[in-house]
Every structure is written in structure tokens, then in C-alpha cells.
Amino acid sequence: MNLRTPLFQLLTLLTLIFTLPGCESSQPPGIYQNDKINSSTRDKIHQLDDQLFAAAKDGKLQDIEALMAKEMLENNDYKRTADQIGNNTKSGKYTLLDEYYIHNTNPGHNDEIKPANKAYKLGYHSVTSESYLSLMLLENGDDKWLLNVAYSKLDYGWKITSLDIGHYSINGKNAPELLAFANEQYKKGYLVNAVNNMELATKCLRPSQIWEYPNEKQIGDYYSLVSAEAYQKFKFPILIPIPSKPQIFRIMTQTQKGGGYVPTVKYVTKVDVRDTVALKQEFEGVKKAIGQALPGIDHDNKLIIFSAYNERPTGNTNPFSFDMVYKLK
């Protein structure tokens, strides 16, 4: 008896299709995190993540566009984001911080993800009934950037429907960690360091448009508190107590080429800044006395950049300056 009738062959084929490993299938409505996500869906998105990262690293905009939903290509906003991603893929690798699969039976509304084991929450907008969020960390020296990629399952496959990037951590610390670090420095009396690190905390407070820390208000309030105290304590110009009496007119943080931020001190000196021999001699005294002028700045920092001027810059002038580095570690 011949069992291989067309009907039998069709049933066999359907059985194979639905039992093959890696065949993608929807999960029941809900939000699934990391290893709770169906492996076939997760593997598919990982492939897309890899393609996006490789295209950004190589500056292949057309390859990035091929991963996007048609609607995203209607304006050019994504091009700036693609450039930012490319600028922060130089290390040649990324790590997945977290990922979420969302099956929403009522798409088109704003909703929240509040992971029980995470110190953040996410606000998202489901375009279709099935969405996926990939939170990718890109390393750039001592800094990490968060690349948030939102995929939606459309009738022509999984496509990117939202893309944004922002600072996740600076000098190896994220916003809550910088808050804790600044508070430690404040208690030691290192007020300038505390202000600088709170400024950095605000830079990585919202690493993505959908990201929010529960203590966001606390971070903003503490930054205001230490900034107000520093404003009252330090009146510019600040004298550096050495015989030549150079005067500090600005303190700021400055990003470095390889990532990370360092304090920068700008000061006016009577020594000709083009006479680098005499200037460096004075600088030896500046290094020894800077902790008296700005208590604690010579602690808890890898280095300080000093910019020496003979006259203070104004909105209309940009006088010559000479930069010197004080390595502390």
C-alpha cells in the first residue's frame, strides 16, 4: 500500500516545519527578558544586532538602512545617530546589557518595563503586536555608550523602528555610581571633584530616550546642591599660592580622545606662555600648590589638564594658550 499520497506528504512537510529547531514562533502575550525569550526569536535578533554593529563600524549606511522599517527612512534623523554609533564602535565589539521581547495584543500605546532586578525602567511604544528591545553597550576607552535598538515584527520581517544612542557610563561609572562617588568626595571636602562628577552624572543620566533611573530627581537635586555650594565658596579669579600668583578663571571637565573625562583648569599667568621653558618652571609650583587652591582636585583623578593664558579669553577674543598635563596616577 502506497502511504506517500499528496495529503500524507503535505502533513509530513507541515510537521517538519513546525518541529524544526530554530523555527521562530510567538510567545504568549507579555514581556520577556533575556534568557526567558524564545531562543529562535533571540537568535534572529542577535543576527540583526551583529549586522547593525558591523555596518556602523564600517560606515556602511546603506546596510544600516536595509535593516530599518520603511517609515524610518522618510526623514534623515537616523543618519546622525548612525554616525554616532560608528564613532563609538572603534573597539570592535559590543556587549548586550539586556534585551526584551514584548508581545502586546493592543499595540499603539505607550507602556513601561520595570525589571525587578534592574535599577532602571523603560518607557516604550509598541508599533506592532510583537516588539523587541536590544540594549547594546559600546565601549570607547573608559566610557560606554548605550545603543537602544527597537525592532518591530512587520509583514516583511523584523525591522528597526527606533534607534538612539547616549552615554551609559563615564570614567567607568554610570549615573547612580557617579552620584555615590561624588557624595564620597563631598564628605572628604573635595568640592570641585564632587561638582565635576555630578556634571558627568547628568551627561549619562538618560543614556536612551526610553531610559529612566528611579533616583533621577535625586541626582539632579544633588548636582544643584553641590554646584550652589561651590559657587559660594570659590570666587573667580582663584589665586594659586605661589610667588608668580597665577589666577584661575575657569574649571571644567574635558573629554579625551580615547574616552573618559578629566578636570581642566584654565589660568592667567604673568609668565610669557610662548616661553615654554619658563612656563614649565612655574608649572612645577602650580602642581604643588593646586591642592591648596582647589582642595582635593589632585586626588581621585588620573590627571589634570592645565591651560595657561596671558590674558583671559572673552567672547570676542581667543588668545594663545599653552596646555600642560599633571599626571596623578
DSSP E strands: which ranges in 259-327? Answer: 261-268, 303-309, 321-327
The Cα 237–Cα 289 span in angstroms is 15
Res 54: pLDDT: 93
Confidence of residue 300 (pLDDT cuts 50, 70, 90): very high
pLDDT tens digits, one per residue of 250-293: 999 999 887 889 999 999 999 999 999 999 999 999 999 999 99
Q: Which residue has the cell 549615573?
A: 175
Residue 329 has pLDDT above 80, yes or no: no
The closest alpha carbon to 197, from 168, 227, 218, belongs to 227
CB 154 within 8 A of CB 69: yes
Give pLDDT, residue 117: 85
**In b/e form, how buried is each residue of 50-78, taking b as 16+ CB within 10 angstroms?**
eebbebbbeeeeeebbebbbeebeeeeeb
Of 242, 171, 232, nearest to 203 by C-alpha is 171
pLDDT at 19 exceeding the cut of 80: no
For residue 22, the model assigns a pLDDT of 41
List of domains in the chain: 25-169 (3.10.450), 173-233 (no CATH), 235-329 (no CATH)
Residues facing residue 211 across a β-bridge: 122
8 Å CB contact between 133 and 102: yes
pLDDT bracket for residue 24 (50, 70, 90): low
Preceding omega of 237 cis (within 30 degrees of 0) = yes
Q: What is the mean pLDDT of residues 5-16?
A: 40
* 13, pLDDT greater than 60: no
- What strands, in cross-sheet order, belong to the sheet with 321-327? 238-239, 247-255, 261-268, 303-309, 321-327
CA angle 165, 171, 175 (to 5 degrees): 60
Pairing of strands 321-327, 121-125: unpaired
Beta bridge partners of 163: 149
- In the predicted model, is pLDDT for residue 12 greater than 90? no
Longest dimension (CA), the chain: 110
Percent of the chain with pLDDT over 90: 78
Judged by DSSP in three states, 96 sits in: strand
Question: Which residue type is seen at 141?
Answer: G
User: Any alpha helices (H) in 58-174, and if so which ranges?
Assistant: 61-65, 77-87
CA atoms within 13 A on the CB side of 120: 18
Cell for 164? 538612539
The set of cell numbers assigned to 195 is 561638582
Least confident of 176-180, 277-281, 314-318: 314-318
Q: What is the pLDDT of residues 118-136, one digit of tens each?
A: 999 999 888 899 999 999 9
pLDDT score for 227 = 97
Which candidate, 147, 131, 111, 138, places its Cα nearest to that of 69?
Answer: 131
310's grid cell: 596671558
Residues 44-51 have a mean pLDDT of 97
Residue 234's pLDDT band (boundaries 50, 70, 90)? Answer: very high
The reported pLDDT for the residue numbered 18 is 39
Spatial neighbors of 111 by CB under 8 A, at least 6 apart, are: 102, 104, 123, 124, 125, 126
Specify the pLDDT at position 25.
66
Could you tell me the three cell numbers for 326? Answer: 599633571
Cα–Cα distance measured from residue 329 to residue 93, given in angstroms and rounded to the nearest whole number: 27
- Compute how many other C-beta atoms are within 10 angstroms of the C-beta atom of residue 282: 19
The pTM is what? 0.88
Q: Which residue has the cell 589660568?
A: 267
Listed as own residue / partner, the contacts of 34-41 with beta carbons closer than 8 Å and 24 or more positions apart are 34/98, 34/99, 37/99, 37/100, 37/101, 38/101, 41/101, 41/132
Least confident of 102-111, 139-148, 183-192, 225-234: 102-111
